[in-house]
């Protein structure tokens, strides 16, 4: 009889054996309430955290079901203290509530008088609350977000039922014909995601995160939520190209008019019933000691809804501004809640809990994402570069490994193998990308490329006029290149899991012929870059993607054989 696949440790780390026949089912179940931490070849390490449990509770997970599953699938008895901690975290979700109070203030309510007394005496809440003689706890409306942040750091999430400002009404409908007469209809999961956020207009709806893979139509979910709310909306996204894609989608998929949709970027400052802006413009300031020039945009336009596209990238100043606008509905859209700065608790407290999520592989099975084959190609360094690497400091080693000139040989071989495919070459370092663009005569898009030129190149790639495109990290997010089917990552941002997910997402749109997408990441063998690659792959491993390990010499040999046969 096969032993169960899990080992649950006293520090709430869960070990999952990858060779176990029940690995995939256990992985998918664990992903609902635990975070993948490390993924060595044979054993994956997960961590159960307060935020992971609270998000599970928000999605409707039941503590008895979760504990029963853990116990049934654990090889050894689980220490009672671990189960007690999980139960306590579940208990705390919804224990504290914010609701309308007297005199325009809010009331903090708790079902456990002892917990409330302990918290109100805590110095972290000083200045945020007022305790009346009768024990009622009042909160100034403008400190709503600050209180929620403070309480979540103390280990107590707040169920915010204090209500929202309506904003100016904006009536519109979704088109059924789409742009140019092309049929358009919400997919079932897109409709379900918007409905989960809206929650029928109840006090439980109106704030939270929708997690869907790249290519699954998160923009459409945002538009569907807007249509349910029928209110002026501010959309925040990553760059000007993404702003204009949002504007195009809104005009193609709704009956909103041109004069109702505005762009608020470095190029234009239009405030309209639907205003689409970048995070960068909101965080712009003339000098380090100056205030943020455009952060007051939140208070203009009578917005009843704020949509945070790629919410995992939310910068610190926007966090602070969001703390002050808790009376507006807030929708976060993302492919992964992973934040490299560890501020998941602030996303949870200020934007809201996870309201809807679908595993990447489930959408792949349903045909909404292309299947993907992922390969880590380990490229040996020359003797001279290996010597430089050995003598360099830690930060210099990273760049020396990333710039490995032999990556160009392997990239050339991959471009030859995929000579009929639509290929994106993605990297981190400008000089490396400029060299690649020159050697292989590829058009290059970086942060220095003017927006009109970026849009021209993206459009040419979409039309098939450019079969290959080289992009810097500006291509990580919110670009619509549905026909790309091969991505080659030549360098990345240290161990960034969300970057790896976004880059794979560039090629996951389903292909007309049903073919698989290919994702290659080139790393210098036996270097720190190889270690960072393993960290970057964590989130995708959790989603069910496996990386083949391939030697660079094998790629070169394969390309040579193909050339001989041709």
Q: What average pLDDT does the segment 498-524 reach?
A: 85
Task: Determine the Cα–Cα distance for residues 237 and 260; give it in Å rounded to an integer.
Answer: 18
Q: What average pLDDT does the segment 442-457 reach?
A: 90
pLDDT at res. 135: 80
pLDDT at res. 316: 77
Query: CB-based burial of residue 536 (10 Å sphere; 0-12 exposed, 13-18 middle, 19+ buried)?
Result: buried
Give the 3-state secondary structure of residue 331.
Answer: strand
pTM over 0.85: yes
pLDDT at res. 178: 55
CA-based nearest residue to 242, from 218, 226, 225: 218
pLDDT at res. 283: 79
Report whether pLDDT(102) > 80.
yes
Q: Under a CB-based contact definition with an 8 Å cutoff, are residues 36 and 28 in contact?
A: no
Domains and CATH numbers, the chain: 6-92 (no CATH), 96-160 (no CATH), 179-358 (3.40.50.300), 367-565 (3.40.50.300)
Place of tokens 């654990």: 74
Alpha helices in 352-429 (DSSP H): 360-365, 383-391, 394-402, 406-417
Maximum Cα–Cα distance for the chain, whole Å?
88
pLDDT at res. 282: 83
Go through 371-398 and write b for each residue having 16 or more CB atoms within 10 A of its CB, e for each that does not: bbebbbbbbbbeeebbeebeeeeeeebb
pLDDT at res. 173: 94
Query: CB-based burial of residue 43 (10 Å sphere; 0-12 exposed, 13-18 middle, 19+ buried)?
Result: middle
CA-based nearest residue to 9, from 82, 85, 112: 82
Instruction: Note the pLDDT tens digit of each residue in 245-259.
Output: 999 999 999 999 999
pLDDT at res. 159: 93
């Amino acid at each position: 009889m096969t032993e169960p696949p899990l080992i649950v440790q006293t520090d709430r780390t869960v070990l999952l054996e990858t060779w176990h026949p029940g690995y995939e089912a256990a992985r998918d179940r664990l992903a609902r309430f635990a975070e993948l931490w490390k993924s060595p070849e044979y054993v994956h390490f997960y961590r159960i955290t307060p935020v992971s449990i609270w998000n599970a509770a928000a999605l409707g997970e039941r503590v008895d079901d979760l504990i029963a599953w853990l116990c049934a699938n654990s090889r050894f008895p689980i220490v009672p203290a671990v189960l007690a901690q999980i139960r306590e975290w579940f208990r705390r979700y919804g224990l504290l509530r914010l609701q309308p109070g007297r005199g325009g203030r809010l009331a903090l309510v708790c079902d456990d008088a002892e917990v409330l007394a302990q918290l109100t005496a805590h110095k972290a809440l000083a200045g945020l609350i007022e305790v009346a003689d009768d024990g009622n706890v009042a909160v100034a409306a403008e400190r709503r977000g600050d209180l929620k942040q403070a309480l979540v750091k103390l280990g107590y999430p707040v169920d915010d039922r204090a209500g929202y400002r309506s904003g100016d009404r904006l009536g519109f409908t979704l088109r059924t014909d789409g742009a140019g007469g092309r049929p358009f209809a919400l997919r079932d999961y897109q409709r379900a995601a918007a409905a989960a956020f809206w929650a029928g207009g109840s006090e439980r709806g109106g704030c939270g995160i929708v997690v869907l893979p790249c290519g699954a139509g998160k923009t459409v979910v945002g538009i569907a939520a807007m249509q349910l709310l029928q209110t002026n909306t501010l959309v925040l996204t990553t760059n000007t190209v993404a702003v204009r894609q949002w504007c195009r989608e809104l005009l193609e998929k709704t009956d909103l008019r041109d004069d109702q949709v505005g762009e608020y970027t470095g190029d234009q400052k239009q405030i309209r019933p639907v205003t689409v802006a970048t995070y960068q413009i909101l965080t712009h300031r003339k000098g380090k000691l100056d205030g943020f020039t455009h952060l007051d945009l939140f208070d203009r336009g009578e917005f009843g809804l704020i949509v945070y596209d790629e919410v995992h990238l939310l910068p610190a100043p926007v966090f602070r501004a969001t703390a002050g606008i808790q009376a507006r509905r807030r929708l976060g859209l993302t492919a992964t809640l992973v934040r490299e700065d560890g501020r998941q608790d602030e996303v949870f407290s200020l934007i809201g809990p996870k309201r809807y999520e679908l595993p990447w592989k489930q959408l792949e099975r349903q045909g909404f994402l292309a299947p993907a084959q992922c390969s880590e190609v380990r490229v040996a360094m020359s003797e001279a570069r290996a010597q430089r690497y050995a003598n360099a400091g830690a930060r210099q080693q990273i760049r020396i490994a990333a710039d490995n000139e032999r990556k160009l040989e392997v990239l050339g071989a991959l471009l030859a193998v995929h000579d009929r495919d639509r290929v994106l070459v993605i990297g981190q370092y400008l000089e490396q990308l400029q060299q690649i663009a020159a050697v292989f005569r590829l058009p290059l898009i970086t942060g220095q490329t003017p927006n009109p030129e970026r849009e021209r190149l993206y459009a040419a790639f979409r039309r098939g006029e450019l079969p290959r495109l080289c992009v810097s990290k500006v291509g990580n997010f919110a670009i619509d290149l549905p026909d790309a089917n091969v991505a080659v990552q030549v360098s990345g941002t240290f161990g960034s899991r969300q970057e790896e997910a976004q880059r794979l997402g560039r090629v996951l749109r389903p292909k007309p012929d049903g073919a698989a997408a290919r994702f290659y990441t080139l790393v210098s063998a036996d270097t720190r870059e190889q270690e960072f690659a393993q960290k970057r792959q964590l989130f995708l491993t959790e989603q069910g993607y496996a990386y083949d390990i391939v030697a660079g010499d094998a790629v070169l040999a394969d390309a040579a054989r193909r050339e001989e046969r041709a």
